[in-house]
Homo-oligomer: A and B are copies of this chain.
């Protein structure tokens, strides 16, 4: 049979992490040693390490060594965002649908435990959006707004996944739609409604406000993709 040595190396090192023989923050043996102990050349080990770096399991510090990352959800699930950007148009609506499920749930959770500091941050975001002078700025603070809400839900895994499905490109396209349809005022109002619900610590209301917001985005994509897409 074939000899996918690199793949084997990836699995072996990965297994060391799963089994707890390599813990978060720990330093790996130098590439040369690893190569010898795994019975392969340094090039092959490097390819394996590169793969695990891509998965955010390892972190290489040049001139120093290779370390195991914190293995936190924010890192390991960051790939979702990258993946979302690569999905074809065909799946844009699917992404929004997932967001439609996650965002209301997360917003409801946030309503139960959001801090005053986070509420202030949200208000600041809202203000920045209202005075934004460029499309990029608008998207930037919109992203920040939703990220704060997701984080306030107190579930890092959920927050990472939600952030991932709300990738920047999708968000950018949605805002272009908002502007084209002169719905900026309405969208801003929706954000204000979400903030108000959170401030009132009203989970049900927050859930509803978030659903309204995502649904607007969904409707926009449905018309665009339905008309031009295919």
Contacts and interface: CB of A to CB of B under 8 A. Distances in A.
Given A6-B50, A97-B157, A98-B157, 8 more contacts: A10-B54, A43-B43, A51-B51, A55-B79, A71-B87, A94-B157, A98-B158, A102-B102
Contact of A57 (B46, B55, B86, B157): B86
Tell me how many chains of this kind the complex includes.
2
Question: Which of A10, A51, A157 has the most chain B CB atoms closer than 10 A to its own CB?
Answer: A157
A39 B162 CA distance: 38
A2 interface: yes
Interface in A90-130: 91, 94-95, 97-98, 101-102, 105
Interface in A50-93: 50-51, 53-55, 57, 62, 71-73, 76-77, 79-80, 82-83, 85-88, 91
Interface of A: 2, 6, 10, 14, 17-18, 24, 43, 46-47, 50-51, 53-55, 57, 62, 71-73, 76-77, 79-80, 82-83, 85-88, 91, 94-95, 97-98, 101-102, 105, 155-158, 161, 165
Given A80-B80, A83-B55, A85-B18, A157 B91 contact: yes
